[in-house]
Amino acid sequence: MEQLHTWLQQEYFDISLQRYALAMGIVLLCLIFKRLFSRLLTRVISPLVDRTENTFDDLLLQSLRRPLEFLVFIAGLFIALQVLQLPSEPTDLKQFGHALIKTLFTFNIGWILFNAVDILECTIAKWAHHTGSPLDDHLLPFIRKSARLFIFVLAGVLIIQNLGYSISGLLASLGLGGLAVALAAKDTLSNIFGSIMILLDRPFRVGDWIQTDNLEGVVEEIGFRSTKIRTFAKTLITVPNNIIANTSLNNYSRMPKRRIKMSVGVTYDSTPQQMRDAVAAIRTMLKNHPAIQQDFMLVNFTDFGASSLDILIYCFTTTTVWGDYLEAREDVCLKIMEILDGLHMEIAFPSRSIYIHDNSDSLIDPDRLASTEESA
């Protein structure tokens, strides 16, 4: 027994065999505990999580399972290093042990955050599923990759710092490199931000009829870099997202109803009573028309025009579909013609009356002058 005790007291690198054995035993116990903890998560916690209807806890358990098991190993390794009491001379093994624990702990935190991106992606995907636009679906891979790249770079920088290396020079290099990349990819970055603005503002979606200052058509595809618009001439225009995000845009597909505005001119030989009857009949026709909105309409005799007595007609159709709107407008126009024809009124057209003066400055009616010339 004394011989075993003497053997255990032997030192290698200023550490006794007894402390080596104790540290090894602690590591083995932690590995066993890690195994038990894994079975606890698999057989107890995982079935409880599966019973819930929410998928958030499933993703959370899946993201944290491996990092938590590794955290148990890190805790055991930390206790083992404390038991070993690593020397500081001639080589500072104690500082190396602390740096190793910090590095492993930083790696584990980065692992947790790296896996947590899946939870963020799932949350954004649920929101994007209800938006009805494919743009945010295109942005999801970009958000996932960007977040993971940021976590990877940040964890790498922290690990380098924990190992005792200066990161000031590295950060300066990254800053200069990032500036160079930003200048080279200025247009690409502006298109990316334009895509994000379209995603947030949602001014249009696929199938919408839009009009800008210099183009008009139907949105056919919303991409990550550009938007494709099919014009009514059947040409396809590709517009960078940074341009379309910074221009005034008219979305006809967002109209809740479509307007009919016209001015019907009748001839000047119409009597006041005929004008009253025409306005009343047109107003009644619009009130009984199934394709006309009934919440607001205007029918009034408004102007004495240059060649006509003008009746303003202002109303809205129940449909916003272009073809159905044209059919409704056509039917309204035909019914107005029928009303005027029934009242023996004529639709005016541009005309001009000419009066001729004789030498005595008296007016001569052109009709009388023509009849006189015929009799002669």
Same domain? For 309 and 161 the reply is no
- Which of 114, 115, 140, 125 minimizes the C-alpha distance to 58? 115
> CA 243, CA 356: separation in Å to the nearest integer?
62
Same domain? For 68 and 107 the reply is yes
Same domain? For 246 and 150 the reply is no
Q: Where are the alpha helices (DSSP H) in the chain?
A: 2-8, 17-40, 46-51, 56-84, 93-129, 134-162, 168-184, 186-201, 241-244, 272-287, 322-342, 366-375
Task: State residue 3's pLDDT score.
Answer: 54
Q: What is the pLDDT along the chain (376 residues), one digit of tens a residue?
A: 555 555 555 655 556 666 777 778 888 888 888 888 888 877 777 777 777 777 766 777 777 888 888 888 888 888 887 777 766 666 667 777 778 888 888 888 888 888 888 777 777 766 666 555 555 555 666 677 778 888 888 888 777 777 766 666 655 555 555 555 555 555 666 766 777 777 767 788 888 889 888 889 998 887 777 888 999 889 999 888 888 888 888 888 888 889 999 999 999 999 999 999 999 999 999 999 999 999 999 999 999 988 899 999 999 999 888 889 999 999 999 999 999 999 999 998 887 767 776 655 555 555 554 444 444 3
Same domain? For 230 and 172 the reply is no
Residue 374 lies in a domain: no
Same domain? For 137 and 203 the reply is no
What three-state secondary structure class fits 281? helix
Same domain? For 227 and 320 the reply is no
What three-state secondary structure class fits 219? strand
Residue 54 lies in a domain: yes
Buried b (16+ CB within 10 A) or exposed e, 100-131: bbebbbbbbbbbbbbbbbebebeebeeebeee
What three-state secondary structure class fits 322? helix
Residue 365 lies in a domain: no
Same domain? For 118 and 225 the reply is no
Same domain? For 45 and 142 the reply is yes
- Which of 281, 279, 301 minimizes the C-alpha distance to 289? 281
Same domain? For 168 and 242 the reply is no
What three-state secondary structure class fits 245? coil
CATH code of the domain containing 296: 3.30.70.100
- Which of 20, 31, 107 minimizes the C-alpha distance to 73? 31
Residue 211 CA to its chain's centroid (Å): 19
* Amino acid identity, position 361: D
Same domain? For 203 and 323 the reply is no
The Cα angle at residue 185 between residues 237 and 110, in degrees rounded to 5: 115
Residue 275 lies in a domain: yes
What lies within 8 Å, CB to CB, of 93 at 6+ separation is: 13, 86, 87
Residue 321 lies in a domain: yes
Q: Where a domain ends, among 167, 186, 205?
A: 186
Same domain? For 28 and 66 the reply is yes
14: left (phi over 0), alpha (psi -120 to 50) or beta: left
> CA 63, CA 314: separation in Å to the nearest integer?
62
Q: Where a domain ends, among 216, 232, 253?
A: 253
Extract the tokens encoding 34: 């890690």
Sign of CA dihedral 98, 103, 106, 108: negative
- Which of 287, 291, 285 minimizes the C-alpha distance to 321? 291
Same domain? For 89 and 164 the reply is yes
Q: Where a domain ends, among 131, 155, 186?
A: 186
Task: State residue 375's pLDDT score.
Answer: 41
CATH code of the domain containing 240: 2.30.30.60
> CA 260, CA 156: separation in Å to the nearest integer?
65
Report the interhelical angle of 93-129 vs 56-84 (nearest 10°): 180
Residue 120 lies in a domain: yes
Start-to-end CA span in the chain (Å): 160
Domain that holds residue 229: 197-253
Q: Are 247 and 203 in contact (CB under 8 A)?
A: no
Instruction: Say how many domains are in the chain.
Output: 3
Q: Which residues sit opposite 215 in a β-bridge?
A: none
Sign of CA dihedral 284, 286, 290, 296: negative
Q: Which residues sit opposite 258 in a β-bridge?
A: 317
Residue 363 lies in a domain: no
Residue 34 lies in a domain: yes
The CA–CA distances, whole Å, from 290 to 65, 155, 225 equal 63, 67, 44
